[in-house]
């Protein structure tokens, strides 16, 4: 059993972990760089960045109380959206915090340079030395880390309050005019640039497993630290801009020291320098503390090597994860320019914060029983939507490097998951479960509506040389469908003649033969049936015209196998599916006058409702048993199986006849479904039009199954509305995918527990 982390961070220590990660470079280094991009509007940029970060903070506060475990951002996104987005988010959040910690150490060096006449290489060595010291502190234990953090943050906050109180009396009004000197583009660029200042809010969730009373302390710490820093950032930057000449502010990494020197002289400059060094050290410390928990959490989920999840017996800390994070930190301090560190840290954090808002929506829309947060984020879902849009806007306004960095993280995360994590994890995210349930409910609603609407006008189209048993079966099916709505059936016999032959020259020896045969077939049928013959040049156009003339709701015809697909009256069935103004069904088999068992092959959530409506009407008319069969792969998740079971349990209430259903776990879907058709009098399948090239390259599952079934098959295609887009079809296949295995196991509808 894996070792657990100690819960010894109280409310104050938890808040200081968050503030300590935000109060460093956000005020001591970034204001000068950001002011060069936005001018005085940098004051507003800090506030806007906080506003855009606040939805993610609310979302994280809720999710942290439902999942108070180490890993924070990564863990929430993984559980909400699945292991692939979780991998991307884990790597992105880890990179963001490490980059920000490196940026803090570089800024620390800049402040030391104010009083140390040494080379830049020596400052780099100092930064590396501080990083190593902090790594040792984190290895020793989180309790010591929390105590150190609390002391540093308390001192820094008191100093910043004093800075604002004293400095605000020295500001010059002219320093704020023109306020938007760099335009709206500069404002958005600076907002994205300083967004990383609020990254500290993620620290709390990352160490949630070590927080006392997480249901109460985590929301208070997250929201309290974000709101406090929004106010403090705005006031501090207001003073910095108001007292510091632009030529000094825009060209330095020590804006706080420069501002303090303007109204407090050398003593104030020295005092701020000391505070800055402590704050930046505290920020780097908090970054190491929380960022090292991402490899820990990913390792626990088999998305990173197992060694990262090992907890030291002596120190009760994840030593390997901390050391790995420290090595990356040392490399960034030594080799990456400071401006690039800040840009990339912000870009990664913006990307992750957008994912956080989406994750909360996924959890809320799912029906996961274990998701039971003690704190519920207000304003759902509009607050989260605002957060997603705001993050997207900022990310696209930050320039090429941050955008490339964000895309790079997505690519790296995807590649890592495909090569390492995919074979080691079989989890699904709450988003997939929510989407599957939503689409399943939509299908259920459409099915209920289709059953209620039914079919009134039915057209049966046969050739003049059709087998009488097939004609009889088609009329029987048409009458069964029409009977539910007190409808009528029109049967037409189509005789095709060459184009060079005039229709008037064709004389039939027995004009009423077809009508007589139909009348004989209809004995005992309680639906009005009329029959007539047509002599035509183009049979498919003739069928379409008759269907339009009688306002047919469905056309039934005979499925005639062909090389690639099948024909009806000598024309490819795809033409009818694409051009008839109504639904169309194709019958294949021998005779279908007596139906005791109707079997429907479906995938819950993505079948066409019309197919089920027709099957129900036929079963009701013939007093037959209606049977549903779904084939799922052995790798189908418990969530997918659960959705299918719930769907059928609700479908039972819609069916007007006796209904049975079963889930079949299989590795050969076609073979399994063919075998399931053995005891059925009629099998109903859905079909869709495909080009000959598509059929040649990829095949047609419905055609393959129907060709292999030794019995009666009805392939049915509804006249789909325009809302059934290609994208939705792709989404359906991804959400309700089937897997591959080697054998099949049947799960009947009276089974208990999870299917094996």
Domains of the chain, each with CATH number or no CATH: 11-369+376-426 (1.20.1740.10), 444-748 (3.40.50.12370)
Beta-bridged to residue 588, according to DSSP, are 713
Is 617 within 8 Å of 454 (Cβ atoms)?
A: yes
Give the residue among 270, 267, 276, 188 at the shortest CA–CA distance from 236: 276
Angle (CA) 706-711-713 rounded to 5° is: 45
SS3 746: strand
Question: What pLDDT does 511 receive?
Answer: 55
Give the residue among 125, 100, 135 at the shortest CA–CA distance from 23: 100
Question: What pLDDT does 48 receive?
Answer: 94
> CA–CA separation, 263 vs 167, rounded Å?
7
Chain centroid to CA 641: how far? 19
Question: What pLDDT does 278 receive?
Answer: 81
Q: Residue 454: left (phi > 0), alpha (psi -120 to 50), or beta?
A: left
Joined together, the tokens standing for residue 370 give 């274990």
Is 457 within 8 Å of 481 (Cβ atoms)?
A: no
Question: What pLDDT does 727 receive?
Answer: 47
Is 737 within 8 Å of 600 (Cβ atoms)?
A: no
**Using CA atoms in the order 12, 15, 17, 20, what is the torsion angle rounded to 10 degrees?**
-110
Q: What are phi and psi of 555, to 5 degrees?
A: -120, 130
> CA–CA separation, 333 vs 287, rounded Å?
14
Instruction: Give the number of other Cβ atoms within 10 Å of residue 500's Cβ.
Output: 6
Where are the extended beta strands (E) located within 480-639?
A: 488-496, 529-536, 554-558, 560-561, 566-568, 571-572, 583-588, 597-601, 625-632
Question: What pLDDT does 180 receive?
Answer: 93
pLDDT tens-digit series, residues 70-119: 556 777 888 888 888 888 888 887 887 777 777 777 787 788 778 766 65
> CA–CA separation, 515 vs 198, rounded Å?
81
SS3 content of the chain, % helix, strand, coil (to 5): 60, 10, 25
Give the residue among 508, 579, 581 at the shortest CA–CA distance from 538: 579
Percent share of the chain, pLDDT over 90: 22
Angstrom distances, CA of residue 668 to CA of 55, 741, 742 = 46, 7, 7
Where are the extended beta strands (E) located within 709-756?
A: 713-717, 745-748
* Mean pLDDT split into 10-residue runs, the chain, 756 residues: 53 72 80 91 94 90 77 76 84 79 78 71 66 69 56 82 92 92 91 85 64 77 86 94 91 88 90 87 70 74 79 70 76 70 83 89 76 86 93 88 86 88 76 75 83 90 88 90 90 84 58 78 81 88 93 92 76 88 90 86 74 90 90 78 84 85 84 87 85 57 83 87 49 52 38 28
């Amino acid at each position: 059993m894996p070792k657990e982390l100690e819960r010894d961070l109280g409310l104050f220590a938890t808040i200081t972990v968050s503030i300590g990660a935000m109060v460093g470079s956000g005020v001591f280094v970034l204001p000068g760089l950001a002011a060069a991009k936005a001018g005085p509007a940098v004051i507003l940029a800090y506030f806007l960045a906080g506003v855009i970060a606040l939805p993610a903070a609310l979302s994280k506060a809720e999710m942290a109380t439902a999942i108070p475990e180490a890993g924070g951002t990564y863990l929430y996104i993984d559980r909400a959206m699945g292991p692939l987005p979780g991998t991307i988010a884990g790597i992105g959040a880890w990179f963001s915090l490490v980059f920000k910690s490196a940026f803090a150490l570089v800024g620390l060096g800049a402040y030391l340079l104010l009083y140390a006449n040494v080379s830049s290489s020596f400052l780099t060595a100092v930064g590396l030395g501080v990083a190593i010291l902090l790594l040792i502190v984190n290895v020793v234990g989180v309790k010591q880390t929390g105590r150190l953090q609390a002391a540093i943050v308390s001192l820094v906050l008191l100093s910043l309050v004093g800075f604002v109180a004293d400095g605000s009396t020295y500001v010059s009004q002219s320093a704020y005019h023109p306020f938007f000197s760099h335009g709206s583009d500069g404002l958005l660029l600076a907002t994205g640039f300083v967004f990383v200042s609020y990254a500290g809010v993620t620290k709390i969730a990352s160490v949630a497993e070590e927080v006392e009373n997480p249901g109460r302390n985590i929301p208070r710490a997250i929201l309290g630290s974000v709101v406090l820093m929004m106010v403090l950032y705005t006031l501090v930057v207001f003073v910095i801009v108001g007292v510091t000449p632009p030529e000094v502010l825009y060209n330095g990494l020590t804006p706080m020291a420069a501002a303090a020197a303007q109204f407090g002289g050398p003593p104030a400059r020295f005092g701020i320098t000391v505070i800055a060094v402590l704050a930046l050290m505290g920020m780097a410390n908090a970054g190491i503390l929380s960022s090292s928990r991402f490899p820990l959490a990913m390792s626990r989920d088999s998305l990173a090597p197992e060694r990262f999840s090992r907890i030291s017996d002596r120190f009760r800390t994840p030593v390997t994860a901390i050391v790995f994070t420290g090595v990356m930190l040392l490399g960034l301090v030594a080799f990456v320019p400071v401006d690039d560190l800040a840009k990339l840290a912000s870009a990664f954090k913006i990307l992750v914060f957008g994912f956080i808002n989406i994750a909360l929506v996924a959890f809320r829309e799912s029906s996961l029983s274990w998701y039971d947060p003690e704190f519920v984020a207000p304003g759902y879902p509009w607050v989260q939507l605002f957060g997603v849009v705001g993050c997207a806007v900022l990310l696209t306004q930050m320039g090429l490097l941050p955008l490339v960095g964000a895309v790079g993280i997505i690519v790296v995360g995807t590649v890592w998951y495909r090569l390492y994590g995919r074979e080691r994890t079989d989890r699904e995210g709450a988003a997939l479960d929510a989407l599957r349930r939503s689409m399943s409910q939509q299908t259920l609603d459409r099915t209920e509506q289709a059953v209620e609407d039914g079919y009134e006008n039915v057209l049966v189209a046969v050739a003049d040389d059709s087998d009488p048993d097939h004609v009889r079966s088609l009329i029987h099916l048409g009458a069964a469908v029409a009977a539910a709505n007190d409808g009528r059936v029109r049967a037409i016999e189509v005789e095709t003649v060459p184009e060079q032959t005039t229709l008037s020259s064709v004389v039939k020896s027995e004009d009423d033969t077809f009508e007589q045969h139909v009348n004989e077939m209809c004995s005992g049928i309680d639906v009005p049936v009329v029959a007539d013959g047509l002599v035509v040049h183009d049979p498919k156009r003739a069928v379409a015209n008759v269907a339009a003339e009688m306002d047919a709701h469905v056309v039934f015809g005979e499925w005639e196998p062909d090389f690639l697909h099948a024909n009806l009256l000598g024309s490819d069935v795809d033409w009818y599916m694409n051009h008839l103004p109504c639904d169309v069904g194709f019958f294949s088999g021998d005779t279908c006058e007596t139906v005791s068992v109707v079997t429907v092959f479906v995938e819950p959530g993505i079948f066409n409702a019309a197919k089920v409506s027709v099957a129900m009407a036929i079963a009701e008319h013939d007093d037959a048993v209606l049977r549903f069969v779904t084939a799922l792969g052995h790798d189908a998740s418990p969530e997918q199986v659960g959705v299918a079971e719930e769907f059928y349990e609700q479908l039972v209430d819609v069916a007007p006849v006796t209904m049975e259903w079963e889930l079949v776990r299989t590795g050969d879907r076609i073979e399994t479904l063919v075998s399931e058709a053995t005891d059925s009098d009629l099998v109903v399948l859905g079909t869709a039009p495909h080009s000959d090239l598509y059929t040649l390259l990829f095949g047609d599952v419905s055609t393959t199954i129907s060709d292999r079934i030794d019995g009666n098959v009805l392939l049915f295609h509804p006249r789909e509305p325009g809302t059934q887009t290609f994208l939705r079809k792709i989404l359906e296949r991804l959400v309700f995918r089937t897997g591959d295995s080697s054998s099949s196991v049947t799960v009947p509808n009276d089974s208990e527990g999870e299917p094996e």
